[in-house]
């Protein structure tokens, strides 16, 4: 006779005794047993975990989802194969995360440095290509060909300022404009190598709905090559966003299902083809163009450079010309700074014209004062009454350096 309706039977090991339980309880016990068995099976998978997969990807140089699956199928243990198979849809992300894990030290060190400090540290290194560096040769050819329209030192200073402070009302964004094959892009392409391609915000696609969303993804530098401001204003980056972006002001970055605050307090540089660059389009008038230009420092190159396609970017030589060019500009500015008056007063006596002559000859203040004092002691009133021989006979003149003497005599 079987158990009552709704009850089940649970046999004991000896085969002679059974307990009658409700059938629902028997089903529950069976389910628990199955779950325990599954847990035991899954514990074997835990013998190989994501950290092990990261180490495998790094050690074997597996850079794609297919490469990981191929290696695991051919060489993996049972646990490894089971882990990878169960997570196959996530392998692409796992590979990217493994790359980030392996490269974390360099970005972390870079984050502790400012953009300008990173450039200067790179400039202190020796280029592995030496004098044969194709980028260094291309940069030299670019500046030589455009020496009449573009100053290397002024461009270097503009890049330094934007790296140090970011865009602002007092710091315009450098934009290099010129014809096709002029080398404008080649000149600044090493920014990708200097800060890492993943940390440079490149030009968004024309017509993109969320053009600036990647700006919020740990970008160190903004580099928009072959940028057409008017066309992008019409279809991608409105004027009001352009003005905020390149003036360092906060603005809303539109993203899918959300808006996020953003600002361009990072360095940036633009390049563009000169032809029709500022031609008005429907919805973008002359006033809009005027406002956009006010945010930029435009450097114009006019000549084309041949054989640029064989040029390989070099962050070291690139950093050197920027750092050295900025230093040269600073030195020239100091040399041309307005001088303090050099006239020496003896009571009411002043050597007329000495201030202007000393400034023209770029004489140090102390030496100019010594010359004026000696001339006043000899009864001179104005520098125009002195001949070249008079100047050369002064003891103070003999204390001038050779090129100081030369500048003084050529200024008479």
180 vs 187: CA distance, rounded Å: 13
- Tell me what the mean pLDDT of segment 21-46 comes to: 52
Confidence class for position 110, pLDDT limits 50, 70, 90: low
Q: Which residue has the higher pLDDT, 30 or 135?
A: 135
Mean of pLDDT values over 259-278: 76
Question: In b/e form, how buried is each residue of 37-61, taking b as 16+ CB within 10 angstroms?
Answer: eeeeeeeebeebeeeebbebbeeee
User: What residues pair up with 259 in beta bridges, in sequence order?
Assistant: 254
pLDDT of residue 34: 58
Q: State yes or no: pLDDT of 283 exceeds 50.
A: yes
The percentage of the chain sitting over the pLDDT mark of 70, rounded to a whole number, equals 80
Q: Write the DSSP assignment of 244-288 as a string of letters.
A: HHTTT--EEEEETTEEEEE---SEEEEEEESTTTT--BTTB-HHH
**What pLDDT does 13 receive?**
45
The three-class DSSP label of residue 96 is helix
Across 34-44, average pLDDT: 52
**Tens of pLDDT along 240-265?**
888 888 876 655 555 444 444 444 45
- The neighbouring-strand residues paired with 296 are 173
pLDDT over threshold 50, residue 171: yes
Say which range, 20-24, 239-243, 324-328, 352-356, has the weakest mean pLDDT.
20-24
CATH architecture designation of domain 115-334: 3-Layer(aba) Sandwich (3.40)
Q: What is the mean pLDDT of residues 40-47?
A: 54
- The stretch 359-376 carries a mean pLDDT of 86
Q: What is the pTM of this model?
A: 0.58
pLDDT above 80 for 193: yes
Residue 228: DSSP 8-state? -
Say what the pLDDT of residue 43 is: 47
Burial (CB < 10 A; 0-12, 13-18, 19+), residue 139, is: buried
User: Hey, where are the domains in the chain?
Assistant: 7-102, 115-334, 354-410
The DSSP element (H or E) to which 322 belongs, if any, is helix 315-335
Name 122's Cβ contacts closer than 8 Å, sequence gap at least 6.
Answer: 194, 315, 316, 319
Confidence class for position 341, pLDDT limits 50, 70, 90: low
d(CA 10, CA 269) in angstroms, rounded, equals 79
Strand partners, 253: 260
Question: For 62-94, what is each residue's pLDDT tens digit?
Answer: 999 999 999 999 999 999 999 999 999 999 999
Q: What is the pLDDT of residues 380-409, one digit of tens each?
A: 888 888 888 888 888 888 888 888 888 888
pLDDT digits (tens, 9 = 90+) for 112-161: 778 999 999 999 999 999 989 999 999 999 999 999 999 999 999 999 99
Q: How confident is the model at residue 379 (pLDDT cuts 50, 70, 90)?
A: confident
Average pLDDT over residues 325-340: 76
pLDDT of 5 reads 55
The pLDDT, as a whole number, for residue 1 is 52
Looking at 279-411, which runs of residues are DSSP E strands? 296-300
């Amino acid at each position: 006779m079987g158990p009552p309706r709704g009850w089940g039977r649970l046999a004991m090991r000896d085969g002679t005794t059974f307990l009658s339980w409700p059938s629902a309880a028997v089903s529950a016990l069976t389910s628990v047993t199955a779950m325990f068995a599954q847990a035991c099976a899954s514990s074997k998978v835990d013998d190989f975990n994501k950290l092990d997969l990261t180490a495998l990807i790094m050690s074997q140089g597996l850079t794609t989802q297919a490469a990981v699956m191929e290696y695991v199928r051919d060489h993996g243990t049972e646990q490894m194969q089971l882990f990878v198979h169960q997570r196959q849809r996530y392998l692409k992300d796992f590979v990217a995360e493994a790359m980030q894990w392996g490269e974390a030290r360099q970005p972390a060190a870079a984050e502790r440095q400012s953009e300008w400090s990173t450039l200067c540290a790179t400039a202190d290194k020796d280029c592995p290509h030496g004098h044969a560096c194709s980028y260094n040769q291309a940069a030299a050819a670019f500046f030589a060909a455009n020496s009449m329209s573009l100053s290397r030192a002024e461009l270097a200073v503009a890049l330094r300022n934007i790296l140090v402070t970011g865009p602002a009302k007092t710091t315009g964004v450098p934009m290099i404009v010129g014809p096709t094959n002029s080398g404008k892009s080649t000149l600044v392409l090493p920014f990708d190598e200097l800060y890492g391609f993943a940390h440079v915000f490149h030009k968004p696609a024309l017509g993109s709905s969320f053009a600036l969303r990647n700006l919020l993804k740990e970008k160190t530098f903004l580099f928009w090559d072959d940028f057409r401001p008017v066309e992008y204003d019409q279809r991608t980056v409105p004027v009001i966003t352009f003005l905020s972006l390149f003036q360092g002001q906060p603005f809303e970055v539109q993203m899918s299902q959300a808006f996020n605050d953003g600002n361009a307090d990072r360095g940036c540089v633009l390049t563009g083809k000169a032809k029709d660059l500022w031609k008005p389009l429907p919805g973008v008038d002359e006033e809009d163009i005027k406002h956009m230009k006010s945010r930029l420092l435009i450097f114009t190159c006019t000549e084309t450079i041949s054989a640029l396609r064989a040029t390989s970017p070099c962050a070291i030589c690139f950093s050197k010309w920027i750092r050295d060019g900025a230093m040269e500009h600073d030195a020239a500015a100091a040399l041309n700074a307005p001088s303090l008056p050099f006239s020496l007063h003896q009571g009411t006596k002043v050597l007329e014209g000495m201030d202007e002559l000393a400034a023209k000859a770029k004489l140090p203040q102390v030496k100019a004062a010594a010359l004026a004092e000696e001339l006043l002691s000899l009864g001179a009133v104005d520098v125009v009454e002195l001949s070249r021989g008079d100047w050369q006979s002064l003891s103070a003149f003999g204390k001038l350096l050779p090129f100081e003497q030369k500048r003084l005599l050529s200024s008479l």
